[in-house]
Amino acid sequence: MLFVEANGARIPAIGLGTWELRGRACARIVEQALRLGYRHIDTAQVYENEREVGEGLRASGVKRDQVEYHPYLDQSKVREACMRYGMALVAYSPVAKGRIKSDHALQRIGERYGKTAAQICLRWLVQQGVAAIPRTSKLERLSENIEIFDFELSEEHMQQISGMGSAGSRLTDFGMAPKWD
Count of structural domains, the chain: 2
**Residues 75 and 158 placed together within one structural domain of the fold:** yes
**Residues 56 and 8 placed together within one structural domain of the fold:** yes
Q: Over the stretch 18-41, which tens digit does the pLDDT of each residue have?
A: 999 999 999 999 999 999 999 899
Q: Considering the domain boundaries, does residue 153 fall inside one?
A: yes
Q: Considering the domain boundaries, does residue 77 fall inside one?
A: yes
Q: For residues 18 and 26, give the distance between their C-alpha atoms in angstroms, rounded to a whole number.
A: 7
Q: Considering the domain boundaries, does residue 176 fall inside one?
A: no
Boundaries of domain holding 71 = 66-162
Q: Give me the mean pLDDT over the 53-73 stretch.
A: 87
Q: Which of 60-69, 133-142, 165-174 has the lowest mean pLDDT?
A: 165-174
**Residues 55 and 70 placed together within one structural domain of the fold:** no
Q: For residues 131 and 66, give the distance between their C-alpha atoms in angstroms, rounded to a whole number.
A: 9
> How many beta carbons lie within 10 A of that of residue 9, not counting itself?
8
**Residues 78 and 150 placed together within one structural domain of the fold:** yes
Give the SS3 label for residue 131.
strand
Q: Considering the domain boundaries, does residue 173 fall inside one?
A: no
Instruction: Look at the pTM and tell me if it is higher than 0.75.
Output: no
Q: For residues 81 and 124, give the distance between their C-alpha atoms in angstroms, rounded to a whole number.
A: 18
pLDDT category of residue 161 using cuts at 50, 70 and 90 = very high
